[in-house]
Amino acid sequence: MSAAGVSPGRAAVVAGWGGALPERVVTNHEIAARLDTTDEWIRTRTGIRERRQAAPGQSTVDLAAEAGRAALRGGRADALVLATSTPDQMCPASAPQVAARLGLGTVPAFDVNAVCSGFVYALATASGFISGGIAERVLVIGADVFTSLIDPGDRATVPIFGDGAGALLLRAGAPGEPGALGPFDLHSEGELAELLWVEAGGSRRRVPDDPGERFLVMQGTAVFRQACARMAESSRAVLEEVGWMVGDVDRFVGHQANIRILQATAKHLGLPADAVVANIDRVGNTSAASIPLALSDAAADGTLSAGHRVLLTAFGAGLTWGSTVLTWPELP
């Protein structure tokens, strides 16, 4: 789907934000003490210094509810969309449990799985609910305990991924007002699914032939190239649709997969380095939580303030990718 326009009457407008991280910090030094890697390799190849890891028994629903509760400071919600690829159970979806935890009653609640692009897909879904008149206020959460998919002995993936959750509360408003989301640019390329996947545990390979098949396998270099090309392409499409020049973008909030991917994509687009919002050094790649956590951190520390024109772009397994834009609103 290319840069579909929003409905002329109603837009989804950001009304609140929140983030949640597990307490446990895993430093590069801790990883280097048990795997064949170094703090220097991880820092220079990925930009990550530390990441957070969920405690045993701490789940996606736990983190999602904490981030969602923070975003609800901006008011109530009458629907909930949870972006995750690590739900508490394979079936059912986790969103209803999050809604129950937040005391939202019997609101519609469901998961969206587009892995690291999940939050942008979930924002698009929620915007459709609002512009179509199905809901007035939608809580959109991106949450993953992605370390549950990581082979603890794999030096290619252990240093990269962390756990967390982030959320935005959306309300019905007018297109063009500060905080209004859209247009959206969303894509997928299923023929390349094997570049980044967990082979077993689903309906095709129900029981792993080999225990490694229940963990994420990543062809890092190929994924790196795809991520840079697709996020740049999608960003350009959404900028063209909304009518912004590259120079109009104040903050570039890309999926936090690797600082080199963020910098290369920004460079491709012609964005200055200081437009790049990055918290990857402290949280690593938190999959669907990555963009809302970066937004929450930037809103909390003042990197992001009212009036900034923001470009959001994500890329992930599937493959999936997508982008959207908004002007950051004045929020209490």
Beta bridge partners of 216: 198
Contact 63, 145 (CB under 8 A): yes
156 contacts ligand UT7 (rule: CB under 6 A): yes
Task: Quote the CA–CA distance of 197 and 146 in Å, as a whole number.
Answer: 12
Residue 323 in contact with ligand UT7, rule: CB under 6 A: no
Is residue 196 close enough to count as binding ligand UT7 by CB under 6 A?
yes
**Which span sits near ligand UT7 by CB under 6 A: 69-77, 99-107, 169-177, 222-230?**
222-230
Q: Does residue 49 belong to the site contacting ligand UT7 (CB under 6 A)?
A: no
Q: Catalytic: 255?
A: yes
- Among candidate residues 255, 258, 279, 308, the one labeled active-site is 255
To the nearest whole angstrom, how small is the minimum distance from the Cβ of residue 83 to ligand UT7? 13
Q: Quick one: which segment of 15-23, 186-194, 256-264, 320-328 binds ligand UT7 (CB under 6 A)?
A: 256-264
Q: Which residues of 78-98 are buried (b: 16+ CB within 10 A; e: fewer)?
A: bbbbbbbbbbbeeeebbbbbb
Report whether 145 contacts 58 (CB < 8 A).
yes
Q: Which of 78, 101, 224, 331 binds ligand UT7 (CB under 6 A)?
A: 224
User: Which range, of 39-47, 89-97, 100-108, 273-281, touches ligand UT7 by CB under 6 A?
Assistant: 39-47
Rounded CA separation 189/320 (Å): 6
- The one-letter code for the residue type at 332 is P
Closer by beta carbon to ligand UT7, 17 or else 119: 119
235 binds ligand UT7 (CB under 6 A): no
4 and 237 Cβ atoms separated by less than 8 Å: no
Interface residue with ligand UT7 among 7, 25, 45, 201 (CB under 6 A) is 45
Q: Which of residues 273-302 bind ligand UT7 (CB under 6 A)?
A: 285
Shorter beta-carbon distance to ligand UT7: residue 14 or 120: 120
Q: Is residue 159 involved in binding ligand UT7 (CB under 6 A)? A: yes
Stretch that binds ligand UT7, among 10-18, 73-81, 215-223, 301-309 (CB under 6 A): 215-223
Distance of CA 32 to the CA centre of its chain: 27
Nearer to ligand UT7, 198 or 242 (CB): 198
By rule CB under 6 A, what count of residues binds ligand UT7?
20
DSSP per residue over 39-107, as a string? HHHHHHHH--SEEEEPPTT--HHHHHHHHHHHHGGG---SEEEEE-SS-SSSSS-SHHHHHHHTT-TT-
Q: 223 vs 242, which CB is nearer to ligand UT7?
A: 223
Q: Pick from 43, 69, 101, 155: which binds ligand UT7 (CB under 6 A)?
A: 155
Task: State phi, psi for 14 to the nearest 5 degrees.
Answer: -70, 125
* DSSP output for 101-162: HTT-TT--EEEE--GGGHHHHHHHHHHHHHHTTS-SEEEEEEEEEGGGGS-TT-TTTTTTB-
Beta strands 163-173 and 137-145, pairing class? antiparallel
Q: For residue 86, state whether it binds ligand UT7 (rule: CB under 6 A).
A: no
Distance CA 312, CA 242 (A): 13
Phi, psi of 307 (to 5 degrees): 100, -15
Is the CB of 7 or the CB of 148 nearer to ligand UT7? Answer: 148
In whole angstroms, give the CA distance from residue 259 to residue 279: 9
| Catalytic one of 28, 116, 187, 228 | 116
Site for ligand UT7 in 55-84 (CB under 6 A): none
> Rounded to the nearest whole angstrom, what is the least distance from the CB of residue 249 to ligand UT7 in the complex?
21
Residues at the site binding ligand UT7, with contacts judged by CB under 6 A = 37, 41, 45-46, 116, 155-156, 159, 196, 218, 220-221, 223-224, 227, 257-258, 261, 285, 316
Provide the annotated active-site residues.
116, 255, 285
